[in-house]
Each structure stands twice: as C-alpha cells, then as structure tokens.
Amino acid sequence: MTTTSINIRLTHKSYLREPESTELGRRIISESVRLIDELGFEQFTFKKLAAEIGSTEASVYRYFENKHKLLVYLVSWYWAWLDYSVTLRVQNIDNPRERLIRAILAITTAAQEDDPTVDYIDERMLYRIVLAESTKVYHTKEVDSENQDGYFMEFKNLCDRMARMTLAINPAYPYPHALMSTVLEAAHQQMFFARHLPSLTEICEAQHLREENTTFLKHLVFSAIEPQEANLTT
C-alpha cells in the first residue's frame, strides 16, 4: 500500500508538543476539529475535548497552552494546506491569467475534495471552522506579539503568492496584497453569509453556491487588475 505522505509544516510553534508525532496528539487535533465544528469555539473547552478522547484536561494542556493557541494551530494548518493546494493546481501552467483563475478556484473549492491530505484531519469540517472562527486568531490584544512569533505566516505566504500572480498579469496594479487579503477573506465571508445572513449576498445556498462565489471573486479580481477587458464569463 503506497500512501503519499504529505506533511504540512508550520513555521511557528503555537503548540507545546508536536501533535502529529503522537497518537494522543493526533486525536487531540481530529477531535478538536469535530468538537469546535459542533459547539463553536466559545463553547469548546479542553475539559469537553478530554472527555471526548478519553483523556484528561492536563494531558491536553501538555500539547497546547490554551484553546486559543490550538485554534491558531488549526487555522494555520488550513492556510498552509490551502497554499499547498494552490501550488499544486497552478504547477505546469504558464499563462498568468490561467494561473490566477486556477488559484481562485482552489480557494473556493479545495476543501470539497474527497480524499484528505492527512487522515486524521477532516478538511471539510476544518473549512467550516475557518469560515466561522478564523478571524478570531488575529482579533486579539496579543496580535502584535503573536505576529512577531510568526503565527500568521501561513496566511501571509498565501496572500503574497496570490499578489505575485496578479503582478504577473499587471505589474502596474498598485494594491496586489490589499486586493488578495480582501479576496481571501471575502471568499470565506460570502460562504458564511450565504448560509447565515443571505440578505448580504447574491450567492445563494440553493444553487451553484461555490460556482457563484468563484464567478463573483474572479470578476472582482480581474476587473480590478485589467479594467479594459474584464467580463463575467472569464
């Protein structure tokens, strides 16, 4: 049996002990994804998590200092994984417009693929967590010191990769990073709005949810960076 073992590596240490390296660590990750998706981050506690995996609160604390750092780990893992997915989908493609189109498609659909990258992480559940909880990782009073510790590198890397793709199309566009941080956040927001606050968007749960989101974002990006030839069917 040949399984391609892909290892998503994080550049920072939001954990105390590496969770991938032990059985308990992996169960902490997979069960916390399940529990946060089920309860929401506010109702999620290490006590409930420990009960779920048949371990103790103290043991969980050996892997993560607190639940905020666990969320940082999960969200960072997602961005690193998405960055990897984007890289895969654009490799061997030379046309800069085609590259950017594929990258946007990766962002809106990567989490819907059937076979998981690592067996103990359910990417669809993690995607739902990112939709609902990811902005909480940087909306804290500790944002500056956590930024210094490299906690947001994975998101910045992806943003920068996308920004460089836009510059390959139009080197004169003055706001590539601003555009791409906006698009990355909007890709998630619109999905969340479609589900919970539908009057904030035309993207609709009932019909072609992800396709509509992709079309909206592609149009937004391409009309911003190449105003002359933008159209809705690119």
Partner DNA sequence: ACTTTTATGATAGCTTTACTATTACATATA
Partner DNA sequence: TATATGTAATAGTAAAGCTATCATAAAAGT
Closer to its own copies by CB, 25 or 75: give it: 75
212 burial level (CB within 10 Å; 0-12, 13-18, 19+): middle
Nearest to 162 by CA among 208, 123, 220: 220
CA distance 111 to 84: 12
160 binds its own copies (CB under 8 A): yes
* Nearest-approach distance from CB 41 to DNA, in angstroms: 9
The nearer residue to DNA, 12 or 67, going by C-beta atoms, is 67
- From the list 134, 182, 189, 180, the residue with the least C-alpha distance to 157 is 180
Contact flag: residue 48 with its own copies (CB under 8 A): no
Residue from 20, 34, 45, 182 touching DNA (CB under 7 A): that is 45
- Per CB under 8 A, does 45 bind its own copies? no
203 and 194 Cβ atoms separated by less than 8 Å = yes
- CB of 79 closer than 8 Å to CB of 155: yes
SS3 label, residue 92: coil
List of residues contacting its own copies (CB under 8 A) = 39-40, 42-43, 132-133, 135-136, 138-141, 143-144, 147, 152, 155-156, 159-160, 174-179, 181-182, 185-186, 189-190, 192-193, 196-197, 199-203, 216, 219-220, 223-224, 227-228, 230-232
| Residues in touch with DNA (CB under 7 A) | 17, 22-25, 43, 45-48, 54-59, 61-62, 65-68
